[in-house]
A = this chain, B = another copy of it.
Amino acid sequence: MTKRILVPIASGTEEMEAVTIIDIMIRAGYDVTVASAEFTGELKIKASRGIELTAQKRLIDVADEQFDAIVLPGGLGGSETFRDNDLLVEMVKQQKYEGRLVAAICAAPAVVLQQHNLFPDAIMTCHPGFKNDIPENKWRSKRVTYDVNNNLLTSQGPGTALEFAMEIIIHFSGKEFAWTIAEPMITNPTLNYHQLGSEQ
């Protein structure tokens, strides 16, 4: 069964992170839904460096659907909108409750997950600029961090977005398949990656 991936976006979303995630999920053959988390329901959003991105749907239109992963790109403005969107927060809570993958990068782990304390006992990373917002016992200084018990994948910033996306593919489809996606992109699913999955 094709994996279903939800990528919310909002004004101020970091475009390199969003596009890297979406592009690589599509390359993996997953069914990707890009949904606007704007309160207005506006599908066109202005990303953090001014690039205009267009969502396929409004978040409310997919709120009852089941996704194998909810993947939150960073960017401070976008993450703040995610945080303030009760529907999205509820969907992340439900995703965790049902044991399905939640993934977040850059500002999103700190601003969305931590500010709502959605993963009280999970290890996580985020952009080092938000390190002080994460309790010391939860913080991991790694480019990509996976918490096995909570099925939570977190990462640090635009420069780690590719590794983060590849890690989602490894999670769902294994390393051998990940190689077939990585190679034509001229990257390597293991290069630079820290050991995952053994901590907690």
Cβ–Cβ contact A186 & B49, under 8 A: no
A187 within 8 A of B: yes
- Shortest Cβ distance from residue A55 to the other chain B in the assembled complex, whole angstroms: 10
- Among listed A77-85, A88-96, A152-160, A168-176, interface-contacting one: A152-160
Give the residues from 46 to 60 in chain A that come closer than 8 angstroms, CB to CB, to chain B: 49-54
Could you say which of B23, B53, B187 contacts A49, with CB atoms under 8 Å apart? B23
A21 to B52, CA, bound (A): 15
A23-B49, A26-B49, A49-B26 in contact; A185/B162 too (CB < 8 A)? no
Cβ–Cβ contact A27 & B52, under 8 A: no
Give the residues from 25 to 73 in chain A that come closer than 8 angstroms, CB to CB, to chain B: 26-27, 34, 49-54
CB neighbours (8 Å) of A192 from chain B are: 192
Convert A134-145 into 0s and 1s, putting 1 for each residue whose CB lies closer than 8 angstroms to a CB of B: 000000000100
A185 to B51, CA, bound (A): 17
CB neighbours (8 Å) of A159 from chain B are: 162, 182, 185-188
Cβ–Cβ contact A23 & B16, under 8 A: yes
A15-B23, A19-B16 in contact; A184/B162 too (CB < 8 A)? no
A–B Cβ pairs within 8 angstroms, 10 of them: A16-B19, A16-B24, A19-B19, A23-B158, A51-B53, A52-B53, A157-B185, A159-B162, A160-B187, A192-B192
Q: Beyond A15-B19, A157-B187, A159-B162: 6 further Cβ-contacts under 8 Å? A: A15-B22, A16-B23, A19-B20, A23-B51, A157-B186, A158-B185
